[in-house]
Chain A
Amino acid sequence: MEFHELMFELSHKERLNIIDILSKGSQRLSAISRQLEITTAEVSRHLDRLVKADVVLKRTTGNYTLTPFGLDLLMEIENIAFLANKLDYFSAHDISMIPLELQNLKVMQKGRVMTGTLQNMSLMKETVDIAEEFIYVVTNQVSNTLVENQRKKADMGVEIVKVYPMTEVIPDSIIGHKNIRLYKKEGEINCSIGVTEKRCILALPKANGSLDFENILVGEDPEFIEWSKMVVESYVKDADKEVS
């Protein structure tokens, strides 16, 4: 089946609803018809189309279920639903600085958008304050208020990793601390990511390239945290210099 034909099969409201129902488990035609409040004839016609497209499979028991291919497609459809839902955010923000192998919208869906620059700054400070295990940061500039708090945290045994652009001047107070690892990277860093064992905060650039702290992504979900940590680690791996 040609790509555009597959897209046509997927771009129908009722068929998307059927895929959504089947994503929760296999179902009989009649049950689908009842849930969607459309006639069994209609449902049957849609199911036939989805079966032809290999998205849905009819079991010998008469139950319909998503194929493995259908489940993979569902993941992408959910991502596109997320993009459509967050149109304003993704029209105004660039995610290209996130390494290709980590551009995973499924995880980013676990974050919520928080607005208000000052509130967001307070949230960043609070996030540092409540960290007990680690604080991983990639950022475009040194913030003196946050640095002071982080040093105190390091004194208490919290593991701190930071990546800055080469041009930034790192305060002496955090250089050489046994719990702080500092890295510098050539070129611009156009995102600000902070992650602790409790929370992750992501500030992305706007269309004009400047970092947006007015709208940030915040999340406490373990998978979101794990993922953000990997993004920071990928910056550490690409860093040009360790500062000690």
Chain B
Amino acid sequence: MDERDILFEFSHPERLRILELLKKEELKLSSISNKLSITTAEVSRHLERLTNVKVIEKSSNGEYFISMFGTIVLNQISNINYLNENRDFFLKHDLQSLPSSITCFKALSRSKVKNGTLDNVGLIKEVIERAEKYLHVISNQESRLFKEAILETAERGIEVTRIYSKPEVIPEEIKKAKNIDVRIIDDIHFDMGVSDIMGGLTLPNTLGVMDYEQIFVGDDAVFITWLNNIVKYCKSKSRPI
């Protein structure tokens, strides 16, 4: 068995519907057939295929359920579904800019794609201003708007980490500020900010330009932890100025 065999099983709408049902509960062939109004012969054929690729199993009392292997596979498949649902975004943006050991569509899917540059600038400002415990910002851009918000947040006594890859863009005020740990890393290909309250991620478009027209924003715990992992990763590759 190889990836083709697995991918193929997800290319039939009826099999996808069967899997959706089995995700919720263990079911006998007849109840699946009833629920989906598909003949038992058809359902049986689908169940046999899914069993062959080990995605589902049959219990001794005749109920079908998603196997442990199936759970992991479905997890990956749902990532493809997420990519497909947000195809327009993923066609225009380069995710290869994120560290590959950290790329996780599952975490990304917990955030929302927000449109509109002006709104998005406002959202990023919110990330900075609403921080209560910590704030991490990774970016080579230093607009006055964000700089002032970051300085104010640091003055409120919040621990700030600010990572750049170009030493020449670091403003003096940021360097001198208390509570700001300013660091340098070799390369940055994305902009992000995360606090204990919310986070945002901006990716470059296909021309390599940071695209503030569409960004990821969210306050979901998985998304925030994931952004923190990116910070941890970048921090471990960085040095203080």
Query: Which A residues are within 8 Å of any B CB, using their own CB?
Result: 1-8, 10-13, 16, 54, 67-69, 71-73, 75-77, 79-81, 83-85, 87, 90-96, 99-107, 207, 223-224, 226-227, 230, 233-234
B241 within 8 A of A: no
Q: Are B3 and A16 in contact (CB under 8 A)?
A: yes
Interface-facing stretch out of B82-90, B133-141, B160-168: B82-90
Q: Are B71 and A4 in contact (CB under 8 A)?
A: no
With contacts A79-B76, A91-B67, A93-B68 taken as known, whether A3 is within 8 angstroms of B4 at the C-beta atoms is: no
Q: Are A227 and B8 in contact (CB under 8 A)?
A: no
A-B contacts besides A10-B80, A75-B100, A84-B1, 5 pairs, CB < 8 Å? A3-B81, A72-B105, A84-B5, A101-B229, A104-B104
Q: Which chain B residues border A104 with CB–CB below 8 Å?
A: 101-104
A-B contact pairs, 15 of them (CB 8 A): A1-B84, A6-B80, A10-B11, A11-B8, A16-B4, A68-B93, A68-B94, A69-B90, A79-B76, A80-B3, A83-B69, A83-B72, A101-B106, A106-B103, A230-B232
Q: Which residue of A lies closest to B90 (CB)?
A: A69
Interface size class of B (residues with CB under 8 A): 35 or more
A29 and B85 alpha carbons, distance in the complex (Å): 29
Q: Are B4 and A100 in contact (CB under 8 A)?
A: no
Complex interface residues of chain B between 2 and 16 (CB less than 8 A to chain A):
2-8, 10-13, 16
Give the residue of A7, A85, A91 whose beta carbon is less than 8 angstroms from that of B8: A7
With contacts A7-B7, A7-B11, A101-B229 taken as known, whether A68 is within 8 angstroms of B84 at the C-beta atoms is: no
Q: Are B68 and A99 in contact (CB under 8 A)?
A: no
Give the residue of B7, B68, B83, B236 whose beta carbon is less than 8 angstroms from that of A90: B68
B226 within 8 A of A: yes
Q: Are B4 and A13 in contact (CB under 8 A)?
A: yes
Q: Are A3 and B80 in contact (CB under 8 A)?
A: yes
Q: Are B69 and A90 in contact (CB under 8 A)?
A: yes
Q: Which residue of A lies closest to B2 (CB)?
A: A84
With contacts A11-B11, A75-B103 taken as known, whether A101 is within 8 angstroms of B226 at the C-beta atoms is: yes
